[in-house]
Amino acid sequence: MSGPGGKPFDIPKRLVWKAWKQVKANKGAAGVDGQSIEAFEVDLRDNLYKIWNRMSSGTYFPPPVKAVEIPKPGGTRVLGVPTVADRVAQTVAALALEPRTESIFHDDSFGYRPGRGALDAVARCRRRCWEKDWVIDLDVRKFFDSVPWDLMIKAVAVNTTHEQRWIVLYVRRWLAALILTTEGRLAERDRGTPQGSAISPVLANLFMHYAFDSWLEREFPAVEFERFADDAVVHCATERRAREVLAALGTRMEQVGLELHPAKTKIVYCRDRNRRLDHEETAFTFLGYTFRARKAPTRDRTAIFSAFLPAVSKDALKKMGAELRSWRIHLRTTSDLGELARWMNPVIRGWIAYYGKFYRTALNVFLKRINTYLVRWARRKFKRLRSFKKAQRWWTGLLQRQPTLFAHWAYMTEF
């Protein structure tokens, strides 16, 4: 059956438009062609028509994906940056897949799904850590570099109709697209999907739905988990069951062409006031939050006890600290406080909204550092404030006059 105009595939133009709106909202860098979102928009109508026409005709072939290195704890991570046009094409496929995938995905899968987010996964993980004593902290070694194409395509094929066979066709092409390495050479791949592309999150979720979610629910129905893309935590009632599940998961990952990282995958005991066994591992990090025993007030706030709780991780604090230093606030003496607040506040609000959702006081030392930089800025800009006491009086007066100037002052005013 052909689509409108005798084209092999019926891809609605409104789906291409919706995909473009999503790509534009997500922003992002230029790909191998150097074309920015702004440049793409200059001839938007023609650019979107070309994408629709080629995809509907079966003649769309993705250009190479640009490899970009970004820092991560202990090294770097390579992201794949498609061109703007290719991001639109990939989003068309992702949007077409979404109704079907959302109908089958597990309730404990949180990554890159509408109406769900990382904080939802952290909240559920927190509750289950109170209910069950043992956790398996899973780390799949190089998931996005290792996932086998044949199983990925099989997972896509069983979730598409005959009319959607174009999705399978283009997924094959996207998986096999060349990579422009950081050294400037074109490289072929035989497995994996570039982390950072628009289609990768849906493909990763679909693959892990069969490789992990459905399998775990079938083999260990009493075991609960939270998964965000390839990052997962499994909850068990006993250490014996945790070891049993971990051994089975290792075998399962091998069956689907993956491998658990032997050094990063571990069994953790949720030690707190009521759970006092000795165990080598009593903390784990999930989605930027470190779960461990922490001081917490009782409900009536008359006493303090030890509870197993999440708070911002050391790696997350280190990353935020590096960004804060890169701003070089104390050297921006040509700006006034209003200007500083306008460009700093959106980032600070984002940090607080995410990392301050649970155990917000763990952010206090970092928020205090922001204030220290602001005082350094003032003492450098105004000669009269070189004296510490005068700077302190200036700071106190500023807080009285403009108490909401900076977003974090609602939580931390010391410097």
pLDDT in tens, 218-262: 999 999 999 999 999 999 999 999 999 999 999 999 999 999 999
Percent of the chain exceeding pLDDT 90 equals: 87
Tell me, yes or no, whether 59 and 202 share the same domain. yes
- Spatial contact of 98 and 188, defined as CB atoms under 8 Å apart: no
- Inside any domain, residue 308: no
CA angle 215, 216, 221 (to 5 degrees): 120
Same domain membership, residue 347 and residue 259: no
Query: pLDDT tens, 264-278?
Result: 999 999 999 999 999
One domain for residues 276 and 330: no
Q: Which of 270, 286, 302 is the last residue of a domain?
A: 286
The pTM of the full predicted model, rounded to 2 decimals, is 0.91
Cβ-in-10-Å burial (0-12, 13-18, 19+) of 268 comes to buried
For the chain, how long is the longest CA-to-CA vector?
A: 81
Whether residues 267 and 335 share a domain: the answer is no
User: Is 246 found in the same domain as 351?
Assistant: no
How many structural domains does the chain have?
Answer: 2
Q: Are residues 108 and 211 in the same domain?
A: yes
CA distance 412 to 404: 11
Shared domain for 223 and 342, answered yes or no, is: no
Residue for token digits 């990768």?
200
**What band does 294 get if pLDDT is binned at 50, 70 and 90?**
very high
Q: Domain of 385?
A: 314-402
Q: Which two tokens stand for residue 211?
A: 């490789």
Residue 92 to residues 18, 164, 204, 208, 410, Cα–Cα distance (Å): 8, 12, 17, 21, 42
Residue 100's domain is classified under what CATH number?
Answer: 3.30.70.270
Shared domain check, 368 and 267: no
Q: Does residue 105 share a domain with residue 154?
A: yes
> Are both 325 and 278 inside the same structural domain?
no
Q: Is residue 295 part of a domain?
A: no
- Tell me: do 383 and 280 sit in the same domain: no
